[in-house]
Amino acid sequence: MLLGKSVTEILALIKNKKISSKEVIDYFLKRIEKYNKKLNAYLTINKSYKADKLDKIKVPIAIKDNFCTKGIRTTASSKVLANFIPPYESTVTKRLIDTSFFILGKTNMDAWAHGSSTETSDFGPTKNPWDLSRCPGGSSGGSAAAVSSYLAPVAIGSETAGSIRQPASWSGVIGLKPTYGRVSRYGLIAMASSLDCPGPLTLTTEDAAFILKIIAGKDKFDATTAPNEVPDYVASLKKKKKFIIGITDEYLNGVDGEIKEAFYQLVLILEKLGHKIKKIKLLSPKYSISVYTIIQRAEVSSNLARYDGIRYGNDRTFFGSEAKKRIMLGTYVLSYGYYDAYYKKAQKVRTLIIEDFKKVFKEVDIILAPTTPIAALKLKEFEKYPFFGEMMDVLNEPAAIAGICAISFPFGLTKKENLPIGLQLMGRWFEEENILNLTYQIEKETDFLEVIKKGVKNYPD
Amino acid sequence: MKKKSLSKEEVLQLSKLAGLTLVDDEIVKYKTQLEETISYIENLNELATDNVLPTSSATFLKNVFFDDGEKNKRGLNLEEVFQNTQNKEGNFFKVKKIFDE
């Protein structure tokens, strides 16, 4: 009865007394017990619900393991924090708990969110629910896999540059990266503070709008959150808005043929729906890779300096290989004599990228592009590619660096391997309403929900 | 692409600055990987940035302040402060001595 139901649907069932919150939570805990060993989507299960006040409506949610959850182990998938129990609650999880959510558990990720495959986790990789020999994407791979296999009706992830959209694309669910500053980072284990951005991974567009409405908005504990009003994202889904949509060759270079085909198919559908398609020119995403590499490593080296093993966690010998490499590169680009050549140069090119988007957004409302150049890779394949993560996130990094909002949704399957294809919409700063609105129009016009449903059906009760 | 090179000493110096201890094969591995990355990011020099101001944040916010007292609301009590450490003596964190007497 519950299999594949969205958060909105589950809430309605509970409100109409068709099912109790306890039954829903038990249902998901049972599914986790059945499938989690195979998928390794969850690292920690929250069994405290008996003590939890269930007289209030509670819908289960999975949380990426880099959000501090008071009393629930939080590791960021690193052995440095293997036994860390946060003494406080992150703003995102607090808002969710205070509304009507129960944290089912904490999901696996690349250690410290460094990666795009969930393979750098110190607690083993998560498997792609569509093909267990493949990566779910990353770094929010556990969250994407949990939703895709219906071990949770919704999950929270975080994105620095692609970490929500890329796993959503590879695992066949919806992933929303809000504008930087739209959602509080308080209690999110910091990776690159000028880029980090929490967001939901969901089964429907409506759920993405619903969750964003809860977690978005000014937070007094995160000075980078914007005071802009939070619109009713759900209510505005149903307006039939017309948009000018930009497409660019720069985002199709090196993209797999089948994904390109899906992209052009959607272009035709959008025209049919009465939207205007316009060719635009953007800076090559290859510069975004460099800017991201420098800024991310620099901020990582400074953020991870706090892990000294004195006040909490294990000492620095517990860092894995990827974290060490990133900390050292960050130290290099920030060190005396190199600061201007690398860090400052990257911050200047970041300005160029922001200006570039500002210019384009004068001509168009939304940009359409593929989310990833190829569908899900096999486990361990990344070792063969230098810069693996960056290449897989090449189409995600420009939006992250500019801080604009973007959403990825599944759009068909590859023919031979039957893997989800992801396309994305990028919108102006704080215009989540528009990209959600267009995604909803696409959802109603096409059968993209069928892809998500098909994924869920691979994991029967 | 011009290949940048790092010496073994530079790699060791970086690990020292970052408070990391490396074993021998790690030094070799990181040296190659760091060189690769540093060579790639050189492509930024293809873009002229002489008159461009650096961005430090994409929020465009200016002068954000706490209201009086707000900051204290996220304070922890002593039990919470020490709940994740084994290096505790009284109400202090115990650390290694830095200076010799």
- ipTM, 2 decimals? 0.93
Domain range for B24: 8-46
Q: Lowest-confidence range among A98-102, A116-120, A302-306, A385-389?
A: A385-389
Cβ separation of B14 and A328 shorter than 8 Å? yes
pLDDT value, residue A391? 74
- Considering the candidates A139, A140, A143, A149, report the single residue annotated as catalytic: A139
What is the C-alpha to C-alpha distance for residues A237 and A205, in angstroms, rounded to an integer? Answer: 9
Establish if B13 belongs to a structural domain.
Answer: yes
If you search the block for the tokens 């990181």, which residue do you land on? B30
- Determine contact: A317 vs chain B, CB below 8 A: yes
User: DSSP letter string over A391-406?
Assistant: HHTTTTHHHHHHT-EE
Residue B3 confidence (pLDDT) above 90: no
- Determine contact: B22 vs chain A, CB below 8 A: yes
pLDDT tens string B5-22: 899 999 999 999 999 999
What is the C-alpha to C-alpha distance for residues A201 and A38, in angstroms, rounded to an integer? Answer: 21
Residue A405 confidence (pLDDT) above 80: yes
Q: Whole-number mean pLDDT of chain B?
A: 89
- Determine contact: A399 vs chain B, CB below 8 A: no
Cβ separation of B11 and A401 shorter than 8 Å? no
Query: Residue A4's closest CA among A142, A106, A147?
Result: A147
Establish if B2 belongs to a structural domain.
Answer: no
For chain A, list the domains and their CATH numbers: 7-457 (3.90.1300.10)
Tally A–B CB contacts below 8 A.
Answer: 149
Domain count across chain B: 1
Interface of A with B in 273-292 (CB under 8 A): 286-287, 289-291
**Cα dist from A430 to A181, A223, A234, A417, whole Å:** 9, 17, 15, 37
Mean pLDDT, to the nearest integer, of A414-440? Answer: 97
pLDDT tens string A239-255: 999 999 999 999 998 89
Establish if B15 belongs to a structural domain.
Answer: yes
pLDDT value, residue A388? 64
- Determine contact: B78 vs chain A, CB below 8 A: no
- Considering the candidates A117, A121, A148, A163, report the single residue annotated as catalytic: A163
Mean pLDDT, to the nearest integer, of B33-43? Answer: 91
pLDDT value, residue A51? 53
Residue A363 confidence (pLDDT) above 80: yes
Would you tell me how many other CB atoms lie within 10 Å of the CB of residue B22?
18
pLDDT tens string A339-357: 889 999 999 999 999 999 9
Establish if B82 belongs to a structural domain.
Answer: no
Q: Which residue of B has its CA nearest to A227?
A: B61
Establish if B60 belongs to a structural domain.
Answer: no
- Determine contact: A328 vs chain B, CB below 8 A: yes
Angstroms from A327 CA to nearest CA on chain B = 7
Establish if B1 belongs to a structural domain.
Answer: no
Mean pLDDT, to the nearest integer, of B39-62? Answer: 90
pLDDT value, residue A185? 98
Q: Report the amino acid identity of residue A151.
A: L
Residue A195 confidence (pLDDT) above 90: yes
Rounded to whole angstroms, the maximal C-alpha distance in chain B is 58
pTM of the shown model: 0.96
Establish if B86 belongs to a structural domain.
Answer: no
Of B15, B37, B61, the CB nearest to A293: B37
Q: Lowest-confidence range among A86-95, A263-272, B25-34?
A: B25-34
Q: Whole-number mean pLDDT of chain A?
A: 95
Establish if B93 belongs to a structural domain.
Answer: no
- Cβ proximity of B13 and A327 under 8 Å: no
Taking contacts as CB-CB distances below 8 angstroms, the residues of chain B near A220 are 66-67, 70, 73
State the DSSP code for A72: B
Residue A50 confidence (pLDDT) above 70: no
